[in-house]
Amino acid sequence: MEEITPQEGQRRVQAGAVLVDVREQNEYDEVHAEGALLIPLSEFEARHGELPKDRELVMICRSGARSARAGEYLEQQGYSQVANLTGGTNAWVESGLPSVKGQD
């Protein structure tokens, strides 16, 4: 699975890739990349079928470890266009890319 930077991830999403956040709901609610689809890793086996096989998937979590596991799982299930966002949401936000922060 290819490892990509936040900037490359945003470019691919703008070109039609699906950004898939595998963190838990409470983490997603705190801050997430704008436009990210939430499928928590804890629900991933049951819900991965919601993801299209005909579009690139860019996987994201907090720092890149959980999303790498999810991406490897997808590849085992026959998904061929999967990339992992190195540094996860932390790197996305630090890069100043569009994100949604929760309300206090």
The CATH number of whichever domain residue 55 belongs to comes to 3.40.250.10
At residue 47, the pLDDT reads 97
Segment 42-72, tens digit of pLDDT: 999 999 999 999 999 999 999 999 999 999 9
Q: Is residue 7 part of a domain?
A: yes
Among 17, 61, 68, 83, the active-site one is: 61
**Dihedral angle sign, alpha carbons of residues 10, 82, 59, 49:** positive
> For the chain, first and last CA: distance in Å?
37
- Known catalytic residue: 61? yes
Cα separation, 49 vs 71, in Å, equals 13
> pLDDT tier at 10 (50, 70, 90 boundaries)?
very high
98, 103, 71: which is closest to 10 by C-alpha? 98
Its pTM stands at: 0.95
Q: Is residue 104 part of a domain?
A: no
What domain range includes position 65? 2-97
At residue 102, the pLDDT reads 84
